[in-house]
């Protein structure tokens, strides 16, 4: 190890190495290892945080309560690719080239769902609230009952989502978020993974459906690190005019629902 705490994370596959090399030993990509302070090599658990010991509670396979119904957004094509509506408590990654219309589509999804009584929040790390309002106005959605916020600090976002109850939350985009628990910059493997993990955990715990926007990099990967694809329940890729004007079910989707 070069110096204490310094490790090298592959920006392509997320593998963590203790030594820098020109080629990632895990995915064979060249020039993808970047020094990230605070990232831990696999197997190295944190010893700084006090751990609470709690007995494991088992439950039966059969449930007495019916699962909550899927959230129908009213944007029919979006509901269709989600398998007939968004599952409460699920996390979806919406990938696509920058500028393809992910933000516009998701604002429309929020407005449409809100009109059907779904409580929606749209949190942007890319645009100011005024810019989002302007876009909503141009789309004729200015009166939609959607809660807006411009924020990039993960801690503030989690606090807000724990405090207020939403059914559907859009995070635009996962690359702009940063967690103060890590020193690495926004958009790095460490940050993207940490932020996505916390948001997915919140989605499961509170039963809120979270839609994460992820930009596709030059070589066509969502969010650069493929780690996010493994954290979410499904990946939708938004391809725009070249293919279909609406999201298509990605070949790499994992449908855990
Ligand atoms: Zn790699």
Q: How far is the CA of 13 from the centre of ligand 1 (A)?
A: 4
| % of the chain with per-residue pLDDT over 70 | 81
Distance CA 161, CA 230 (A): 23
pLDDT for residue 241:
63
With the C-alpha atoms ordered 94, 95, 96, 97, is the resulting torsion angle positive or negative? Answer: positive
Q: How far is the CA of 186 from the centre of ligand 1 (A)?
A: 19
Q: How far is the CA of 166 from the centre of ligand 1 (A)?
A: 36
∠ CA 253-82-131, nearest 5°, is 100
Q: How far is the CA of 26 from the centre of ligand 1 (A)?
A: 5
pLDDT for residue 242:
57
pLDDT for residue 255:
37
**Residue given tokens 């100011």 in the structure block:** 128
| Residue 257 pLDDT level (bands cut at 50, 70, 90) | very low
| Residue 233 pLDDT level (bands cut at 50, 70, 90) | very high
Looking at the predicted structure, is the pLDDT value of residue 95 above 90? no
pLDDT for residue 69:
93
Q: How far is the CA of 16 from the centre of ligand 1 (A)?
A: 8
Q: How far is the CA of 126 from the centre of ligand 1 (A)?
A: 27
Domain ranges of the chain: 6-37, 76-249
Distance CA 245, CA 30 (A): 34
Q: Which CATH architecture has domain 76-249?
A: 3-Layer(aba) Sandwich (3.40)
Highest average pLDDT, of 36-45, 216-225, 245-254, comes from 36-45
Q: How far is the CA of 226 from the centre of ligand 1 (A)?
A: 9
Condensed to tens digits (0 to 9), the pLDDT of residues 158-186 reads 999 999 999 999 999 898 999 998 888 88
pTM > 0.85? no
Q: How far is the CA of 15 from the centre of ligand 1 (A)?
A: 6
Distance CA 97, CA 164 (A): 31
Sheet containing strand 146-150, strands side by side: 146-150, 120-124, 168-172, 209-215, 91-96, 234-238, 248-249
- Quick one: tokens of 129? 């609230």
| Residue 250 pLDDT level (bands cut at 50, 70, 90) | very low
């Amino acid at each position: 190890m070069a110096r204490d705490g310094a490790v090298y994370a592959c920006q392509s596959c997320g593998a963590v190495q203790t030594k820098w090399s020109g080629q990632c030993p895990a995915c064979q990509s060249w020039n993808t290892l970047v020094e990230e302070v605070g990232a831990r090599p696999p197997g190295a658990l944190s010893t700084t945080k006090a751990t609470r010991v709690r007995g494991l509670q088992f439950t039966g396979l059969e449930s007495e309560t019916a699962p909550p119904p899927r959230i129908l957004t009213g944007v029919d094509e979006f509901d269709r690719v989600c398998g007939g509506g968004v599952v409460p408590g699920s996390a979806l990654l919406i990938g696509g080239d920058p500028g393809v219309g992910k933000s516009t589509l998701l604002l429309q999804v929020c407005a449409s769902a809100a009109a059907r009584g779904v409580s929606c929040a749209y949190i942007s790390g890319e645009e100011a609230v005024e810019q989002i309002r302007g876009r909503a106005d141009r789309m004729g959605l200015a009166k939609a009952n959607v809660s807006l916020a411009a924020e990039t600090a993960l801690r503030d976002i989690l606090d807000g989502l724990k405090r207020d109850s939403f059914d559907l939350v859009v995070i635009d985009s996962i690359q702009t978020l940063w967690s103060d628990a890590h020193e690495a910059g926004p958009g790095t493997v460490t940050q993207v993974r940490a932020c996505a993990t916390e948001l997915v955990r919140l989605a499961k715990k509170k039963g809120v459906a979270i839609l994460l926007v992820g930009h596709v990099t030059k070589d066509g990967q969502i969010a650069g690190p493929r780690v996010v694809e493994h954290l979410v329940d499904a990946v939708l890729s938004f391809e725009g005019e070249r293919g279909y004007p609406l999201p298509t079910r990605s070949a790499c989707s994992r449908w855990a629902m």
